[in-house]
Amino acid sequence: MLDRKPVRCDPRLPWLPRTRRFLSPMSGVTDRPFRDVCRRFGADIGFCEFVSASGLTYGGEQTWKLVDTEGEDQLVGVQIFGSNPDHMAQATRLLMPHRLDVLDLNFGCPAKKVVKKCGGSALLADLPLLERIVRAVTAEATVPVTAKIRTGWDEDSVNYDEVGLMLQDLGMSWVTMHGRTRAQKYTGQADWDRIARLVETLEIPVIGNGDVVDGDSYRRLVTRTRCHGVMVGRGAIGNPWIFARMRAVDEGYPEPEVTFAELCTVSIEHIRGEVAARGERQGVFTVRKHIAKCFKGQAGAAHLRRRVFAHEDSARMIGVLEEAARRGSAALEPEESS
């Protein structure tokens, strides 16, 4: 068993003490089909793609499509971002009739399109505004509220301890921290020692985030930080098996091996799920990023990707993968037709 710091869990979340493996909200990635795949392999909770509070407030159809939680019978969260406290409050009010277990506030996204509007990690440089946003949201929320942060705006303004304590005092049920500053974006290494310090500082759960790509890195992050759980983002793209490996570490059994046939089978299921959820064209486009990473490291992976991506309809993509699964290799040429 991994050693984790005892924490004060929100009594409204009876499942939180045993929840360890979190799928991060990611734009264009964490839709319903992908959440379902990740949970099948061991993710305890999945988040929708993060959504603009202003888009929800103005009733944007495409924005509301991202809140794809209706009928979801497993743990699911919605994350919103924005810099206007009134819009954040209104978005919260509009979301409350929908299916969600927690509402997460995005104070960590480093993307330019979010930061230039003073959202995401830009709020780490404006704590009075961040506080107003949190108060506005919690006044409207009927579900527990959580927050995701980074270590600071840049190395000259690292303030995660101050932000974490503020968020705890404002009633957050947990705080997730990515171990980089906004200035780093995704370069360099995540600073797990800073996550460890936040774990020791706060009484509520801290969810570690950054550079977890397999069972070994999961074990090392938890061992170094004693964090309550780990949120995985980019490491899950094309790799839902990461959650099976994390679960094996948690439960003390050998990490499962993933066969080539399983890579193909799960990719086929994912294609079908995306097409059912998004339609043929958008579904095929969405799943490509997962398939591109899924077969990385397999012999003949580049050849298989070229063959799959040569098609723009799901049936032919599935046909290529079914053939590869039959042959047991990405490297072999298709059979000659008789």
User: What average pLDDT does this structure show over 138-153?
Assistant: 99
Task: Give the span between the Cα atoms of 226 and 114, in whole angstroms.
Answer: 31
Q: Which positions are annotated as active-site residues?
A: 109
Beta strand spans in the chain (E): 21-23, 45-47, 51-52, 76-81, 102-107, 145-150, 175-178, 206-209, 229-232
User: Which residue is listed with tokens 């706060």?
Assistant: 202
Q: Residue 265 has which token pair?
A: 């089978």
- Rounded-to-integer distance, Cα 4 and Cα 101, Å: 24
Which pLDDT does position 297 carry in this prediction? 87
Q: Nearest 5°: phi and psi at 84? A: -100, 110
Fold topology of 16-251: TIM Barrel (3.20.20)
Residue predicted with more confidence, 336 or 223: 223
User: For residues 144-171, b (16+ Cβ closer than 10 Å) or e, as one string?
Assistant: bbbbbbbbbbeeeebbbbebbebbbebe
Closest CA to 166 of 147, 193, 191: 147
Q: What is the pLDDT of residue 331?
A: 64
SS3 of 79, please? strand
| Residue 218 to residue 229: CA distance in whole angstroms | 10
CA atoms within 13 A on the CB side of 188: 12
30 — phi, psi (to 5°)?
Answer: -90, 55
Say whether pLDDT at 334 is over 60: no
- pLDDT tens, 254-287? 999 999 999 999 999 999 999 999 999 999 999 9
* Dist CA 337 CA 304 (whole Å): 19
Instruction: Calculate the average pLDDT of the chain.
Output: 95
Collapse the DSSP code of 124 into the 3-class scheme (helix H, G, I; strand E, B; otherwise coil) and give the result: helix
Percent of the chain with pLDDT over 70: 98
- The domain segmentation of the chain, as residue ranges, is 16-251, 260-327
* Mean pLDDT in residue range 206-233: 98
Q: How confident is the model at residue 1 (pLDDT cuts 50, 70, 90)?
A: confident
Q: What is the model's pLDDT at position 299?
A: 86
Average pLDDT over every residue of 291-298: 91
pLDDT at position 338 is 31
Average of pLDDT values for 288-295? 94
Return the axis-axis angle of helices 127-140 and 85-95, rounded to nearest 10°: 30
pLDDT surpassing 70 at residue 335: no
**Contact call for residues 167 and 199 (beta carbons, < 8 A):** no
Tell me what the mean pLDDT of segment 111-119 comes to.
Answer: 93
